[in-house]
Amino acid sequence: MTKGQNSPQYDLEERTLKFAKGAVGFCRRLPKTVIDNEIAKQLTRAATSVGANYIEANEALSKKDFLMRIKLCRKEAKETRYWIRLLELGTSELKFEQEALLQEATELMKIFGSILTKSQ
């Protein structure tokens, strides 16, 4: 797809994909403890769901369907923030990555909130 009239939509799809890949990579580097493994599973599910629901929103059959999918995007971004914040990490490299993911989840949550406000 080339840049043009659809570029904001395309950019957000790419941004949510990059976010999901970043979360998956982050989870792969977490310490292999029982607790961190469970948190990583939840974090991965929530982070990857943001982009998947956004793609579904773009293919929505109705405005109601679109709004529901965008609400799910916002909800999953918010849930991702919870799981990221729950992790207590010792290494500075992982902490830096944790903060970057937290910031991106927060920004995505705000973006989807704005889309909701403008679409209703």
Task: Tell me the per-residue pLDDT of 78-91, one tens digit each, with 9 for 90 and over.
Answer: 999 999 999 987 76
Burial 6-33 (b: 16+ CB within 10 A, else e): eeeeeebbebbbebbeebeebbeebeee
Residue 67 · residue 119 · CB < 8 Å:
yes
Residue 12 · residue 54 · CB < 8 Å:
yes
Residue 108's pLDDT band (boundaries 50, 70, 90)?
very high
Residue 92's pLDDT band (boundaries 50, 70, 90)?
confident
Whether pLDDT at 7 is above 60? no
According to the model, what pLDDT value does residue 8 have?
54
Whether pLDDT at 4 is above 50? no
Residue 115, both tokens: 């889309």
pTM: 0.87
* Cα–Cα distance, 55 to 46 (Å, whole number): 15
Neighbours of 83 (CB within 10 A): 22
Domain segments of the chain as ranges: 7-119
- Looking at domain 7-119, its CATH class is mainly alpha
